[in-house]
Amino acid sequence: MLIRKNLPIDNTFQLNSVAEYGAGISSHDDYLEVLSFRKKHRVGLKVVGEGSNIIPRRSVQGLVVKMIRTGISQLEDGDDTVLVEVSAGENWNDFVFFALEKGWYGLENLVKIPGSVGAAPIQNIGAYGAEVADFIEYVLVWDADGKERTLSRDECLFGYRSSIFQRDSELTVAGVGLRLGKIPKLNISYPDVSSALSGRPESSITPEIVASKIAEIRAAKLPDPKSYPNVGSFFKNPLIDEADAERLSGIGITVFSQDSGYKISAAELIDRAGCKDLADQHVYCWPKQPLVLINKSAISSSEVSAFAERVRSIVLEKFRIHLNYEPKFFG
């Protein structure tokens, strides 16, 4: 493995960013080499995937490694389910289609989410009523001492766009063990999905149809980062307590009740706060989905955070709700 100086960090927000040292990790031996380089040069270590959820600074000190370990192994083949271990450097969407072709079901609602398999557990990727945590049996990690360990699903402490990996940045995800169904079990109650499928008899709906409808909905709603640089949702949907739920539903904000409390839509707050068409010289809100920010001409992460802070403070002033960022400011 080659550790190079001044390596550009790819990112879908298309910011210019360079790591002091950079390398691609394709094996555990590469990882051990990275750890000894880190020790010898006394530098920090950060792991990235495909850069679709980071806002990197112009110059990132230390060592930034990209996980490029690939491989898919079927570990169990039961009557109703399979257990598959997928290496962190595999592309998430390619794996979703690979699984569908194999007749391994469950991931169809998570189609077309950009990025790597290794990053999927970091923020517990989710869309259209599903989360990757629903399918994770374990996560294979390499720790700061170079040891390989498996964390069970419970140990990963998954929540809405959160996991233990956001708290413990010393864990590198090397692979993910996914338990998938051999018998389709459709999850089509999410409003956009059910309305796109309305009129079809339920017995005629297959996981492949669900995946292609969700891919169509996403293409219509979300900007392609190649033409409109973005990181998907910039803000998380706020989780709120009962008092805020009552206060906000009283002024017409939609409040979703869930097992652990209440959730509201960040897009609705941004829209109702009048930020739907907000723009500055460098960054703007995507009008069809205003929680997506688009990079028009920003070069540095500080230009991005200035705009994001502006949206956040308008929403805070109007609704007394603090929006949290979804992407990681990196560096």
| Contact residues: ligand FAD, CB under 6 A | 12, 46-54, 67, 88, 113-116, 118-120, 122-123, 125-127, 165, 172-173, 222, 225, 230-232, 328
Q: Which is nearer to ligand FAD, 207 or 232 (CB)?
A: 232
How far is 291 from 295, CA to CA, in rounded Å? Answer: 13
DSSP assignment string, 191-255: HHHHHHTTTS-GGG--HHHHHHHHHHHHHHHS--TTTS---SBSBPPPEE-HHHHHHHHHTT--E
- Shortest distance in whole angstroms from residue 232 CB to ligand FAD: 2
- Shortest distance in whole angstroms from residue 131 CB to ligand FAD: 8
Q: Which is nearer to ligand FAD, 137 or 244 (CB)?
A: 137
- Shortest distance in whole angstroms from residue 264 CB to ligand FAD: 17
Task: Confirm whether 326 is a catalytic residue.
Answer: yes
**Which residue in 161, 162, 179, 301 is the catalytic one?**
161
Q: 90: phi > 0 → left, psi -120 to 50 → alpha, else beta; which?
A: beta
- Shortest distance in whole angstroms from residue 204 CB to ligand FAD: 26
Taking CA 103 as the corner, what is the angle to CA 99 and CA 108, rounded to the nearest 5 degrees? 55
- Give the burial class of 97: count Cβ atoms within 10 A of its Cβ; 0-12 exposed, 13-18 middle, 19 or more buried: middle
Residue found under tokens 């017995």 = 203
Contact 300, 290 (CB under 8 A): no
Residue found under tokens 């992407």 = 327
Return the DSSP state at 107. Answer: G
Q: E strands, 241-330, where?
A: 255-258, 261-264, 283-285, 293-295, 328-330
Q: Which is nearer to ligand FAD, 136 or 245 (CB)?
A: 136
- Shortest distance in whole angstroms from residue 249 CB to ligand FAD: 26
**CB count in 10 Å sphere of residue 60:** 22
Q: Compute the Cα dihedral for 24, 25, 30, 36 and give only its sign.
A: positive
Contact 319, 248 (CB under 8 A): yes
Q: Which is nearer to ligand FAD, 94 or 246 (CB)?
A: 94
Residue type, 7: L
Q: Which is nearer to ligand FAD, 81 or 87 (CB)?
A: 87
- Shortest distance in whole angstroms from residue 243 CB to ligand FAD: 28
**Which residue in 20, 33, 268, 326 is the catalytic one?**
326
Task: Confirm whether 233 is a catalytic residue.
Answer: yes
Q: Which is nearer to ligand FAD, 122 or 180 (CB)?
A: 122
**Which residue in 116, 163, 233, 301 is the catalytic one?**
233
Active site residues: 161, 233, 326
